[in-house]
Structure 1
Amino acid sequence: MTHENRQKSQLTAVWVKRAKPKDKPYKLSDRDGLYLYVKPNGSRLWRMNYRFHGAQKTISFGRWPEVTLADAREKTLQARRRLADGIDPCEQKKLDRIAASIAQANTFKAVSDDWLEKVGLEARAPMTIKKYEWQLGLVMPSLGRRPITQITPHEVLLALKRIERTKKYYTACSVRATCSQVFRYAIATARAERDVCADLRGALVTPKVVHRAAVTTPREVGALMRSIEDYDGHPIIRVALRLLPHVFVRPGELRHAEWKEFDFERAVWTIPDHKMKMGLPHAVPLSRQAIAIICDLEHDEALSPYLFYSLRATDRPMSDNTINAALRRLGYAKDEMTAHGFRAMAATLLNEMGIWNPDAIERQLAHVEANSVRRAYTRGQYWDERVQMMRHWSDYLDDLRGGATILRPNFRHRGP
């Protein structure tokens, strides 16, 4: 078949492969405006000529053999469809290239970093930020470099299953929730259209809820308080162990307590927002017992800004396992009592007393109301009751430590 006849026919893969370079560039036409542009250096490029609003234009589809004849015809068909819809294929190609560039810049890691920065500006507790960073670090090897718009539910599931295979079921579920927050942030900032983590509900093993161990009966609490008084370890640890039942804050909040946060004249300890789990400042009324225990410390801010400094360095707080280690030394196993268990102990017994408003107890535990309107309304409420409650609670602990018999009220209706 002559070259002239080939120009009137559709190209074949064989003809494309056999196309030889000449002194000048030439074209081998296919159909629908598609042609192979053969350059003197031997390169072969796929192009298509078309008219848009009366102007002659050319679009390139790439180089052979990376783009085959079949590929070039498919691209030509797509371009023709766009023309039929009134879209200029060349302009669309530029937009697609820009979108791809943006997608490559908006990787999962880039969006995660932006989200972490936003969360940090919201004054979340450093411990919370550190937890988010650790959780996201677990999936970064798999997802970090991927454009967030291209990540599929299956990809996220595979990353979470790797965590799950180590028997860390709670961690896997928690990481899914954190990733979901990143995707929702990407949606809010116009960098994604959907949260793929939503498709994974029910795909992971549901972890068994394990409540932190705590003693919650008056007899057990009395025995615990007597054991604490007999603690013969380091004096700083003994003071921390004695104080925690009276204030029942989170262990991390106790460890990071600083002298400047205490107003002993007003008998109040004000914990700043950046140290609180929910990022809101918290005030703790101090009973006379709590103040007396603090006064047993043999140092002040001249030695360390912290009440309970590390035994290795006075510019750092004690380690997070110190209180639990002290409880183990007292003979309490980890399934019997923990540092965090003092909160459950106080919540249980204060509610059982039946004389305190449950909202006041929740306020003292620094539990944040889910409803933002209600939270704003109740933030300053119950202070007087909380002051009375904390005084009563310290007296109650003293009675239990002394072995007093505590009578529980019987609220059952008595008939005539």
Structure 2
Amino acid sequence: MALTEIQIRQLKPADRNYQCSDGRGLYLEIQSTGSKLWRFKYRYLGKQNRLALGRHPDVGLAEARRRADQARQVLQEGEDPLALRKQNKLIAVYQAANTFEDVAKEFIEKLTAEERAEATIVKANWMFSLLKPIAKRPVAQIKPLEVLAILKKIEAQGKRETARRCRAFASRVFRYAVATGRGEQDPTFILRGALIAPKVKHHAALLEPAQVGKLLRDVDAYSGTAITRLAMQIAPHVMARPGELRNAHWSEFNLAEAVWTIPAERMKARRAHEVPLSRQVINYLIELQDLTGPYGYAFPARHTARKTMSENTINNAFRRMGYGPRDLTAHGLRTTASTLLNESGRWSADAIERSLAHMDTNAIRGIYNRGRYWAERVEMHQWWSDFLDTLREGIDVQPAYRSQANLAGGGIPKG
């Protein structure tokens, strides 16, 4: 029998909860506490469920019937009204997280879930911290001028490259907001021409063979820790980025096969990279292993083996040896290798680029070249190590080294 508002108001609580039906699955549950709750009982895929429709008198009889009718319509369309409500609540909570801070943190969590390099996550968090003035603003309401004000403040401090990177990071956050239904556009898109272009800075590097020879002798004579010395001795040979080297794990080295396999998560291009190991490098690694043991990080920090050496360790060692930041950086050793290997005229540019782990824009060609140039790279890395030994010995190679007449020779120029 259908209920009336008068009947509902007259219902009193009892010692136990009881129900009063309005028909077709809609009923009022009167609880012992005095609360009167609307419920809709239904079956979906053979299973009985009930849907809460609100509390009386906040939800009157007419409104309760309207909500029950809506639930029946959902059932007729083949969906479960209870599951649909839970889904809509999740969507509402998700869409409510619509500030720049909410979206930025979610975007950074996405990068973490994708196992991006630790340095990438650290930089993303750092750039977000610089954009804090808009953190609490709804992402869909942020105007280009608001972002520009932050970027111009950074730029005024002489940090043009930082301003450019912040704009790029903000752009990625706004585009993620659009993709997830919480934003409408990327307000940073029109700001591309509003910032002063940063001056291109190249990593300081030694490009003359005689300079490289002196550096190698200075490294051999380094009076600091043996692990730091070995890191500086190995770095010129393997041509890896500083972060790839200092984070190396002993499990990545196969000394028997003379190969170092750097996993994809540590590579800039997110592809595993194989480095041929010359005889010299293997000898350095054997000496290093005697100091650190065969497990864990190859270049551990001084105070704990659970962490790697600091990113500034090698550069600081260069400074103590008398090489200023405009003379040499750890990353500049890659430039040294690239320059002198190309000038030698002995090796294909593709083999050199592959050893430097520069990403090929053509993915299919990149896979092909990795296999095609491996044999050449093995030979090239051994030649390069032998050449570095020649430079360390102080032999003047420059006249013959840059002489086109001698480029066809098979041995290392002896001057």
Tell me which residue corresponds to 1:4: none
Pick from 389, 392, 403: which aligns with 1:401? Answer: 392
Moved more, 268-277 or 390-399: 268-277
Confirm or deny: 8 A CA contact 1:103 1:148 kept in the other structure: no
1:127 matches 2:138? no
Deviation at 1:100, TM superposition (A): 10
Query: Structure 1 102/152 Cα, relative in aligned 2: closer, same or farther at 3 Å?
Result: farther
Confirm or deny: 8 A CA contact 1:222 1:401 kept in the other structure: yes
Deviation at 1:270, TM superposition (A): 0.9
Moved more, 398-407 or 373-382: 373-382
Tell me which residue corresponds to 2:305: 314
Query: Please, what is the CA RMSD of the aligned residues?
Result: 2.2
Pick from 250, 253, 266: which aligns with 2:244? Answer: 253
Moved more, 354-363 or 100-109: 100-109
Distance in 2 (alpha carbons) for counterparts of 1:232 and 1:102: 57
Deviation at 1:161, TM superposition (A): 1.8
Map Cα deviations across residues 317-347 of structure 1 (whole Å, 9 max, x no partner). 1111111111112211111011111111001
Distance in 1 (alpha carbons) for counterparts of 2:285 and 2:303: 21
Tell me which residue corresponds to 1:49: none
Query: Structure 1 335/154 Cα, relative in aligned 2: closer, same or farther at 3 Å?
Result: same
| Letter of the structure 2 residue corresponding to residue 133 of structure 1 | N
Tell me which residue corresponds to 2:180: 189
Map residues 136-285 of structure 1 onto 2, 5 A cutoff. 136-139=128-131, 141-285=132-276
Map Cα deviations across residues 109-143 of structure 1 (whole Å, 9 max, x no partner). 2222232233233332111121111111210x222
| Letter of the structure 2 residue corresponding to residue 114 of structure 1 | E
Distance in 1 (alpha carbons) for counterparts of 2:253 and 2:366: 25
Map Cα deviations across residues 277-334 of structure 1 (whole Å, 9 max, x no partner). 23221111100000111112232446x6112111111211111111111111221111
Moved more, 227-236 or 370-379: 370-379
Query: Structure 1 334/253 Cα, relative in aligned 2: closer, same or farther at 3 Å?
Result: same
1:283 counterpart SS class: strand
Map Cα deviations across residues 246-303 of structure 1 (whole Å, 9 max, x no partner). 112111111111111110000011111222223221111100000111112232446x
Distance in 1 (alpha carbons) for counterparts of 2:232 and 2:336: 14
| Letter of the structure 1 residue corresponding to residue 194 of structure 2 | A
Query: Structure 1 101/226 Cα, relative in aligned 2: closer, same or farther at 3 Å?
Result: closer
Confirm or deny: 8 A CA contact 1:128 1:277 kept in the other structure: no
Query: Structure 1 194/372 Cα, relative in aligned 2: closer, same or farther at 3 Å?
Result: farther
Distance in 2 (alpha carbons) for counterparts of 1:377 and 1:187: 37
Map Cα deviations across residues 228-254 of structure 1 (whole Å, 9 max, x no partner). 111121111111111111112111111
Confirm or deny: 8 A CA contact 2:97 2:103 kept in the other structure: no
Distance in 1 (alpha carbons) for counterparts of 2:317 and 2:110: 38
Tell me which residue corresponds to 1:356: 347
Distance in 1 (alpha carbons) for counterparts of 2:115 and 2:363: 17
Map Cα deviations across residues 25-80 of structure 1 (whole Å, 9 max, x no partner). xxxxxxxxxxxxxxxxxxxxxxxxxxxxxxxxxxxxxxxxxxxxxxxxxxxxxxxx
Stretches of structure 2 lacking an aligned partner (at least 5 in a row): 1-90, 406-415
Moved more, 188-197 or 176-185: 188-197
Moved more, 325-334 or 385-394: 325-334
Identity score, percent: 47
1:142 counterpart SS class: helix
Deviation at 1:192, TM superposition (A): 2.5
1:253 counterpart SS class: helix
Map Cα deviations across residues 90-125 of structure 1 (whole Å, 9 max, x no partner). xxxxxxxxx999765322222222322332333321
Map residues 100-115 of structure 1 onto 2, 5 A cutoff. 104-115=96-107
2:197 counterpart SS class: coil
Deviation at 1:371, TM superposition (A): 3.5
> How many residues matched?
313
1:299 counterpart SS class: helix
Distance in 1 (alpha carbons) for counterparts of 2:330 and 2:363: 30
Stretches of structure 1 lacking an aligned partner (at least 5 in a row): 1-98
| Letter of the structure 2 residue corresponding to residue 125 of structure 1 | A
1:389 matches 2:380? yes
Distance in 1 (alpha carbons) for counterparts of 2:372 and 2:193: 40
Query: Structure 1 206/284 Cα, relative in aligned 2: closer, same or farther at 3 Å?
Result: same
Confirm or deny: 8 A CA contact 2:263 2:271 kept in the other structure: yes
Map Cα deviations across residues 201-253 of structure 1 (whole Å, 9 max, x no partner). 12112211111111011111111111111112111111111111111211111
Distance in 1 (alpha carbons) for counterparts of 2:274 and 2:133: 43
TM-score, with normalisation over the residues of structure 2? 0.71
2:260 counterpart SS class: strand
Query: Structure 1 196/371 Cα, relative in aligned 2: closer, same or farther at 3 Å?
Result: farther
2:274 counterpart SS class: strand
Distance in 1 (alpha carbons) for counterparts of 2:137 and 2:364: 39
Deviation at 1:379, TM superposition (A): 4.1
Query: Structure 1 181/164 Cα, relative in aligned 2: closer, same or farther at 3 Å?
Result: same
| Letter of the structure 2 residue corresponding to residue 255 of structure 1 | R
